Structure 1
Amino acid sequence: MTSTMLNACMRFIALFTAALLMTLTLSGCWNRRELNDMAVAIAIGIDRVDEQYEVTIQTVDPSQMSNNRNVDRFPTRIYSEKASTIFEALRKVTSKSSRKIYLAHLLLLLFNEEMARDGIKEPLDFLFRDHEVRPDFNIAVTRGYQTKDVLSIVTPLEVLSALDLYRSLNVSQKLWAPTAAVNINEMMVMLTNDGVEPILTGLTLIGDLNKGLSADNVKQPRPYLYFKFKGIGVFRKDRLVGWLNEPDSKSFSYVNNHVSSTVGSVQCPGSKKRFAIELVKSKVSREPSIRNGSPHMKLIVHVSGNVGEVQCETEINDKSIIELQKLASEQLKSIIENSIQHVQYQYGVDIYGFGANFHQKYPKQWRQWRTNWNEQFARMSIEVQMDYHLRLIGKIISPFGNNPQQKKE
């Protein structure tokens, strides 16, 4: 055997031995768990009851998620337990369930209003800390109902009611401006950063609660009970202090660029009737400045929309489009100005994150404003500049069923 072949053989033996030794140090999935050993949680509700946390968990029944599922069994299970901490309550659930709760697929976290007013930082600590929890679930506050009731209703569109709530919140934010889908990452930023206060969307129930908890709720063309996202909650630090009405909630979404599409109506010129506009594009730019030693914020609102419905007795032409565009622009400007003033005077907390803009542009001045920024925000002057355009008017020019020429005769 030549020296070259011998060296090659020795190298092969060395590599093989090294690979063999490496395999001895490798182990399998040390914390592997079978699906049959876990209860997959998709929603958690936290209520304040008797100075304790009542934690409600909605879990999935895997056997009911196939096409051949048993229609007589619900696809979800609801468990509730009380304890002084969230962690304890979750572990106490095992006294009712043969499976350990698995939180990696959590979609939704709900607080009832009492819990939100007491403060949500403490119950959030466990969800921030636990390594299993993925930071992509949404958070909301139930209004007028315990979270246990909301998670127990039977919803008509999705097999899993938590999935129905989760998808509805995300779709509503995109297509109907007065709601805001806030996930746990965004909440962490709002709770830990200066210059912005948290917000959460409200969730309520409408109808007969007792009937809504049964399977009969989905067998009706009009359910006995249904959910509705209603208003945006204003927080000071981690405590809920009040609710925005629908126009103020819509304004918040505009200012924070959460609006991708929505619909609004404006009163016709010289008439009590209205015309509707579908907004198809919205962008708000911010220009912070300092005037006479005080903060000033200029908002430039860029909006594009289409005429969706016209009740006005007028023909749609270049002149009337300009008039309708002006009316729509003035109305939106008024809504934004009034809602910001409402938040300034009634709540005095910067939910818009204007402070973060001043922090970025004026870091030296921000050091002086940082400790009392909400007071600065409450006195801050706001300027709104509109750039509003109506693009399309649809397939007809005159209002349907109306002929202006015929009326003249």
Structure 2
Amino acid sequence: MKRKGILLLLMTTMTLLLSSCWSKKELTDLAIVSAMGVDKTKDGRYTVTLQIINPGNVAGGLVGGGGTQSPPVTIYWDSGDNLVEASRRASSRIARRVYYAHTNLLVIGEKLAREDGINVLIDAFDRDPDFRANATMVIANHTSAADLVKTLTPVDKIPANKVLKTLEFTERKWGENVKVSLQDVMMGLESPGGKAVVGGFRMIGDYKQARRLENLQESAPEATLRASGIAVLKRGKLVDWLYGKTARGTVWILDKIQGTDINIDWGGKKEAIAYQTVRQKTSLSAQIKNGKPHISVHTRVEGDIGEMEVPVDITNPNVITKIEQSVRQEIKKELKKAIERAQKDKTDIFGFGEVIHQSRPNEWKKIKPEWNDVYFPKSKVDITVEAYVRRAGLRNKSFLSGVKEN
């Protein structure tokens, strides 16, 4: 009997400690934000643009009740003296509670990033318990954040997902863009020198047409979104845009290349052979010689022959060796171009300073205050590239060689 009483008392105590559903949130009461854009107005105020998901339209396509068509998202925006005020003003137009826990995309306008910087914004986002630090951040390239957030996109019903997937696949297949989170940017800006790189995105086409449902009904939409460049942030402000081989060289050094295509000249023809990377690894090391930093960059890459526009005998080991040498030279050019651009901007986006800090902490204390502006631009950087051809696709002998023989 005594044991039963103790068990009953224990069960009663546990029941009292259970929280139940005291903090429940009904889906019908929430306005789920998929993307958020932040711009600066001419009078110095913040403008917040919210991309709200229309659950019924996403689940059932673009067909609404009565045969009418409705977009998968609705846009709300408003302005304020700070980010919190602008966000709360925008929520006054919505009949539901604005819910940021599923906000996967944060877009910063180029004008705001270049003139005022993003440090104040990051502080606001970091304080908000609902906003996730793993949300992807992008900088609007030559446009406003509002134009990006308002653009309706085909294939992917939710425009925010279009941006996220494009960044992911572009980084994986081409290597001239990066996908970074709010947390990544925070860590970069808090590191020595306060630097970070952020993927860029732009709207191409008619910005008025981009907001209309008719844009989704065209086989060739008049307006669309595309990844465009890498934004360089120094002390929270946008200082430069990187494109093409300079951008890819930067991604090489950051050790974020997952896949790309290197074109080399052969037989007097420009970019005659396409070399597809399969795997790569970039490592950094640093030394202090005579009081001056000395950085070493080592890249090792393996890849396949993807295409040949001229007859090439790839069964000949000497030919393979020459192809590998050409690939090494091309990659080295890109790395060198990226380093020269960063030194010109006086922004150590590669983390050379952290490498010195780890290997030479005492020397780092002396040069840290002037690292970005004095030491980094004049640092000597040695680049070593190893490139190997592993496979040649489904055939060894070139099809063009057979045509030439016939």
State the TM bucket, normalised to the shorter chain: over 0.9
**1:113-164 deviations in whole A, cap 9, x for unaligned?**
1110121011122211111122211111112221111111111121101111
Structure 1 position 373 matched with structure 2 position 371: yes
Could you list the per-position Cα deviations for residues 255-304 of structure 1 after superposition, in whole angstroms to 9, with x for gaps in the alignment?
11111111121111433352111111110111211122111111111000
Q: 1:184 to 1:284 in 2, by over 3 A?
A: same
TM-score (norm 1): 0.93
1-side partners of 2:205 and 2:273: how far apart?
A: 31
Tell me which amino acid in the other structure corresponds to 1:328.
V
Deviation at 1:96, TM superposition (A): 1.2
Match of residue 5 from structure 2: 13
Match of 1:60 among 32, 53, 74: 53
- The answer on whether the counterparts of 1:197 and 1:235 sit within 8 Å (CA) in structure 2 is yes
Match of 1:310 in 2: 308
Amino acid at match of 1:85: N
Task: Report what 1:190 is aligned to.
Answer: 188
Q: Is the 8 A contact 2:209 2:223 kept in 1?
A: yes
* Counterpart position of 1:209: 207
Measured in 1, the distance between the counterparts of 2:329 and 2:231 equals: 26
Give 1:315 shift: 2.4
Note the aligned Cα RMSD (angstroms). 1.8
| C-alpha separation in 1, matches of 2:185 and 2:61 | 40
1:319-363 CA-to-partner distances (Å, cap 9, x unmatched) read: 221111111111111110122012102x01100011111111111
Partner AA of 1:89 in structure 2: A
Give the secondary-structure state (helix, strand or coil) at the position aligned to 1:257. coil
Query: The residue matched to 1:178 in structure 2 has which SS?
Result: coil
Letter in 2 for 1:201: G
Aligned to 1:31: 23
Q: Does 1:155 find its partner at 2:147?
A: no
Contact 1:196–1:353 at 8 Å: present in 2 too? Answer: no
1:336 equivalent to 2:335? Answer: yes
Task: Give the conservation status (yes or no) of the 8 Å contact 1:314–1:404.
Answer: no
5+ residue gaps, structure 2: none
After superposition, where does 1:120-135 map in structure 2 within 5 Å?
A: 120-135=118-133
Letter in 2 for 1:396: R
| Whole-angstrom CA distance in 1 between matches of 2:143 and 2:363 | 44
Q: 1:196/1:254 Cα in 2 relative to 1: closer, same or farther (>3 Å)?
A: farther
Return the alpha-carbon distance in structure 2 between the equivalents of residues 212 and 156 of structure 1.
11
Task: Report the CA distance between 1:404 and its aligned residue.
Answer: 7.5
User: What aligned pairs does 1:134-149 form with structure 2 within 5 A after superposition?
Assistant: 134-149=132-147
Deviation digits for residues 6-25 of structure 1, max 9, x if unmatched? xxx21320231233144234
Tell me which stretches of 4 or more aligned residues in structure 1 moved more than 4 Å: none
Partner residue in 2 for 1:352: 350
Report the alpha carbon displacement of residue 239 of structure 1 after superposing the two structures with TM: 0.4
* Equivalent-residue separation in structure 2 for 1:139 and 1:166 (angstroms): 10
Counting only pairs closer than 5 Å after superposition, residues 16-95 of structure 1 correspond to structure 2 as: 16-49=8-41, 50-67=43-60, 70-71=63-64, 72-95=69-92
Letter in 2 for 1:86: L
Contact 1:200-1:234 at 8 Å conserved across structures: yes
Percent of pairs with identical residues: 26
* Structure 1 SS opposite 2:208: helix
Q: Determine if contact 1:273/1:312 at 8 Å carries over to the other structure.
A: no
Q: Is 1:257–1:284's contact at 8 Å kept on the other side of the alignment? A: yes
Structure with larger Rg = 1
> How far did 1:66 drift?
2.2
In the aligned structure 2, how far is the partner of 1:172 from the partner of 1:285? 23
Quote the Cα distance in structure 2 between the aligned partners of 1:405 and 1:162.
Answer: 50
Question: What is the TM-score normalised by the length of structure 2?
Answer: 0.93
- 5+ residue gaps, structure 1, are 1-8
Output the CA distance in 2 between the equivalents of 1:70 and 1:330.
Answer: 55
Match of 1:5 in 2: none
**Structure 2 residue 320 is matched with structure 1 residue 327:** no
Q: 1:399 and 1:25, CA in 2 relative to 1: closer, same or farther beyond 3 A? A: closer
